[in-house]
Amino acid sequence: MMVTRRLDEEAVALQRQGVLPAYAPVRGQEAAQIGSAAALDRTRDFAFPTYRELGAAVALGVDPVAYMAMHLNIWHGGLYDPNVARLAPPNAVVGGPVLHAVGWAMGAKLDGTGGAALTYFGDGASSQGDVHEAMNFAGAYHLPVVFFCQNNGWAISLPTGHQVAGGSVAARAAGYGIEGLRVDGNDVTAVFEATRAALERGRAGGGPTVIEAMTYRLGPHSTSDDPSRYRSAEEERLRAEQDPITRAMRSVSAEEIADAEEHAAAVVRKTTAGLHAMQPPPADELFSFVYREPTAALLDQHRAWKESQDA
């Protein structure tokens, strides 16, 4: 959690310096992400993130430089191997990874591997039709998938209470005939236990689960957002008192905290150096990974692009 917090702070600083074009901060949601990702069985499960799951990437051992390559705009989706990490490429389509997770879960059920999918989305994304379709499909086919909603209180600038009818994402699960529960998203142990139980249930044939982790986005929605325009400083102060890292620190020694800070600082230094050293890929790779076998139209476009570069 400390590594995620310090990497997140560094990413915001790098964006302000013009190194990263944009970034979606995760401050305040570390427990929800790390607790859930840590529950995965990396020999058979698979996670499907949004564009804000730095904590999940850290928990799954993804090289931060390879992950942050996405934010550096070097490579769409990062430079890590998803099959090794068991983490799909970050997905910036609102609600998009939920559909992918359900498709993967259907495949896992059909081939009998016994794995389960874990998919992330926010309270705002829960209003997308894609999410409802995914839950209905998963319920109808009894698929091994955990829908993990990080309810951070705000759908960008709209409070959850104004855009989630009924006030609960977890309660929607009943409409699809699947399990649903709320968990304290700032308690890393509670998140881990809830997610582990849901994954085990899915692997055992018990079907899908919706977990609504109640947390709070302490920072802006993105580095182009100004939360002071839609929420008060008093609200932020009160919610900061529930900071998941502050809570976790209460159960460990001062020596352990110091060790964690030292380790996090080393990771940040290495990551920053790696990002500064990273070079853009060859421009014609734009045409290299579109189709397994390039179409005539794509080859024509590639040829025209090369001619324009030589002109």
Identify whether residues 243 and 100 lie together within a single domain.
yes
Which residue is catalytic, options 27, 100, 217, 239? 217
pLDDT (mean) for 5-25: 96
pTM, rounded to two decimals: 0.93
Predicted pLDDT of residue 290? 84
pLDDT (mean) for 178-207: 97
Predicted pLDDT of residue 168? 95
Identify whether residues 181 and 305 lie together within a single domain.
no
Which residue type occupies 66?
A
Identify whether residues 243 and 286 lie together within a single domain.
no
Per the structure, the count of domains in the chain is: 2
Identify whether residues 232 and 90 lie together within a single domain.
yes
SS3 297: helix
Assess whether 51 carries a catalytic annotation. Answer: no
Assess whether 182 carries a catalytic annotation. Answer: no
Assess whether 132 carries a catalytic annotation. Answer: no
Identify whether residues 307 and 264 lie together within a single domain.
no
Q: What is the pLDDT of residues 138-170, one digit of tens each?
A: 999 999 999 999 999 999 999 998 989 988 999
Residue 85 sits in a domain whose CATH number is 3.40.50.970
**pLDDT over threshold 80, residue 311:** no
Domain that includes residue 42, residue range: 2-279
Widest pairwise Cα distance in the chain: 65
CA neighbours closer than 13 Å in the CB half-sphere of residue 53: 34
Q: What is the pLDDT of residues 274-307, one digit of tens each?
A: 999 998 888 888 888 888 899 999 999 999 999 9
Which residue is catalytic, options 52, 100, 221, 239? 221
Q: What is the pLDDT of residues 107-132, one digit of tens each?
A: 999 998 899 999 999 999 999 999 99
Which residue is catalytic, options 16, 230, 263, 269? 230
Per the CB < 8 A criterion, the answer to whether 7 and 15 are in contact is no
Question: Token pair 């230094």 is at which residue?
Answer: 269
